[in-house]
Amino acid sequence: MMRTALAASLILLTACGGEQEAAAPVTDASYQEELQLALLDAQPGDVITIPAGTYAFDRGLSLTADGVTIRGAGMAETVLSFKGQLAGAEGLLVTGDDFLIEDLSIEDAKGDALKVTEADGVTIRRVRVAWTGGPKTENGAYGFYPVQTTNVLIEDSVAVGASDAGIYVGQSKNVIVRNNLAEENVAGIEIENTQDADVYGNVAKNNTGGILVFNMPNLKQAGANIRVFENEVEENNLDNFAHPGTPVASIPAGSGIVVNSHDDVEIFGNTVRDNRTANVIISSVYSSNYADDSWSDSFDPYPERIALHSNTFEGGGNRPDGMELKAAKLMLFGPTGRFPDVLWDGYAPEGRSPEICIGDQGTEVLNADMPNGSKNMRVDAEGFSCTLEPLAAVRLAEAL
Q: Which is nearer to another protein, 37 or 393 (CB)?
A: 37
Of residues 6 and 191, the one with the C-beta less far from another protein: 191
Three-point CA angle 322, 363, 236, nearest 5°: 40
Cβ proximity to another protein: between 32 and 363 the closer is 32
Q: Are 188 and 207 in contact (CB under 8 A)?
A: yes
Residues 6+ apart with CB under 8 A from 343: 277, 278, 280, 281, 282, 317, 365, 366, 368
Nearer to another protein by Cβ, of 120 and 364: the residue is: 120
To the nearest whole angstrom, how small is the minimum distance from the Cβ of residue 295 to another protein? 7
Radius of gyration over every alpha carbon of the chain, rounded to an integer in angstroms: 21
Residue 87: CB minimum distance to another protein, A:
4
Residue whose CB is less far from another protein, 14 or 85: 85
Question: Which residue lies nearer to another protein by CB, 20 or 32?
Answer: 32
Q: Can you tell me whether residue 199 is helix, strand or coil?
A: strand
According to DSSP, residue 31 is labeled: H
Instruction: List residues near another protein by CB under 8 A.
Output: 32-33, 36-37, 39-40, 58-60, 62-64, 85-89, 93, 95, 109-112, 117-118, 137-138, 140-142, 145, 147-148, 163-164, 168, 170-171, 192, 216-220, 243-247, 289-290, 292-296
Q: How far is the CB of 397 from another protein (least distance, A)?
A: 19
Alpha helices in the chain (DSSP H): 2-22, 31-41, 323-333
The amino acid occupying position 151 is N
**DSSP-derived pairing of the beta strands 378-380 and 365-367:** antiparallel
CB of 5 to another protein, least distance (A): 34
CB of 91 to another protein, least distance (A): 10
The one-letter amino acid code at 400 reads: L
Helix or strand (DSSP H, E) at 76 = none
Q: Where are the alpha helices (DSSP H) in 71-110?
A: none
Cα angle 367, 390, 230; round to 5: 75
> Cβ 67 to another protein, closest distance in Å?
15
Provide, rounded to whole angstroms, the least separation between the CB of residue 68 and another protein: 12
Distance between CA atoms of residues 103 and 105, nearest Å: 7
Nearer to another protein, 27 or 363 (CB): 27
Say how far apart CA 295 and CA 279 lie, in whole Å.
Answer: 29
